[in-house]
Every structure is written in structure tokens, then in C-alpha cells.
Amino acid sequence: MYPHRIRLRGPWEYQPLARCVGDDRPLPPPGRMTLPAHWSAGGLLDFAGTVQFRRRFGYPGRIDAHERVFLTFAGHRGLATAYLNGFLLADPLPSEPCEFEVLHHLQARNELRIDLQGDATAGLTGEVALEIRCQAFLRRLALHRNGANWCLSGEVVGQSQGPLELYLVVDRHTVAYQPIVPTPQGQPFALAFPTTGMDGEPARMLQLDLVAGAVVWYTTQMELPELSTDSDVP
């Protein structure tokens, strides 16, 4: 079942590189920080300037021909540039969640480097992870309410030799099904289902599976918001 997620949590090595212009105080010493966190909570209490973060990790096991490896970033505060084994991934690194396919840049031993510029509120505040996926996967999932229904939309990205299948399960009951052919740019879909379950109570939990034959190529779960009003939920 995919995706396989390898979280690149702490400790990360960090080294302050420069203070903001006009601040001539000595730089704090290098150290280690457990991430995700604001850097003020990890030992750089009042620092403003540029800090270099490094995280080393090994090759993520056997990667089969039908698998892909992505490096995912859940978010950060400040202005960041990211490198993997010296290869520039992004400059600047988007502050919103983003991902990069990195299989061809991986080595037996790897180093992820992020140069981050900011003030005391800066930091790698979102999780960084490796994610092993099949050759097609789900992306840009969004949930909104439309009257008495929820609608889950998104894209199926990648390629396959034939149609795949989407199964939407809500509170252990299949409520929607759709065959779909992925594209490299992303094939959009939208699945509607009632806000109440079969027992008449508000729906609580959904699971969306992307299936090829008997193999789940991608699965995700989501807790549904509580319904307090009849207004639309973004």
C-alpha cells in the first residue's frame, strides 16, 4: 500500500551564517535542532539572519521500476533555498506545501541542505519527508460542502497501462466509485457524498483509495469537519 513515508525529523545540524545588516554581534555557535520547529525554540532565541540546516539520510531501500520517490515539504517561515546533494531543488522554496521528484538525485548517502533567512519567528515549521509512491498518485485534494453533500476533488497524476479506480469510503461504507486514467499533468476528479452516514449521523471519516487491480497505489484518510451551520465549508 502506498505511499511509504519516511519522516526526516530531528536532529538536524544547523549553522548560523550571517546576522541581519547592522547587527555586528558574534554569530551563535553551530548546533543540532529537532525539527519541525521555529528556530527560536531550538536554541536561536533572538537570532535574525541566515541559518543553514543540514539533514543526512541513507538510500530509502529497494526502489522498483514502478515506484517514484518524492521529497515533500509541509511549510516553513522565512525565505528558504533547498539543495539535495548539492543539486538546487528550489530558490526560493515555496512556503506552502510542495514536493519534488528526487529519485535520480539520490545516492547511497544523502544530504539535504536548506538555507533559511528570517527573524525569531522563522524556522522549518512543517514536516520534511521522503515519500515513495507508485507511478500514479493523488494530488491537490480539497474538500468542500455543497448543500447536503460533501465534495472531494483532486487530481490523479502519473501514468498507467490502463484505467485505475477511485474508491471513496466514508465511515467504512463505499459511497463513490470512479474509473480514471492518470495523466502527467493531472487528471481532475470530483466525488460527491452525503454529509450524513447510513445511520443518519454526521459523516466522520473518509478514505480515498487509488487502485490498480488488487493493489492500492495511493491511499489517504481525512477527518471530516463538524457541521455547526448550514453554510458552505471551504
Print burial letters for 44-58: b (CB count within 10 Å at least 16), e (below 16): beebbbbbbbbbeee
State mean pLDDT over 225-233: 56
Is a pLDDT exceeding 50 seen at residue 231?
no
- CA quadruple 42, 83, 139, 232: dihedral sign: positive
DSSP codes of every residue in 151-215: EEEEEEEE--SS-EEEEEEETTEEEEEEEE--BTT-EEEEEEEESB-TTSSBP-EEEEEEEETTE
Q: What is the spatial distance between Cα 180 and Cα 174, in angstroms, rounded to a whole number?
A: 17
Q: Considering the chain, what percentage of its residues have pLDDT values greater than 90?
A: 80
Q: Are 105 and 82 in contact (CB under 8 A)?
A: no
CATH superfamily for 4-134 is: Galactose-binding domain-like (2.60.120.260)
Give the pLDDT band (50/70/90) at residue 172. Answer: confident
User: 59-111, pLDDT tens digit by residue?
Assistant: 998 999 889 999 999 999 999 999 999 999 999 999 999 999 999 999 999 99
Please give the backbone phi and psi of residue 39, each rounded to the nearest 5 degrees, phi first: -70, -20
Residue among 79, 186, 83, 202 nearest 142 (CA): 186
Superfamily of domain 136-223: Immunoglobulins (2.60.40.10)
Backbone angles phi, psi at 91, to 5 degrees: -145, 100
Residue 75 backbone zone (phi > 0: left; psi -120 to 50: alpha; other: beta)? left
Mind listing the pLDDT tens digit for each residue in 192-214?
999 887 777 888 899 999 999 88
Q: What is the mean pLDDT of the chain?
A: 92
pTM of the predicted model as reported, rounded to 2 decimal places? 0.82
Per-domain residue ranges of the chain: 4-134, 136-223
Give mean pLDDT, residues 10-36: 94
pLDDT(166) > 50: yes
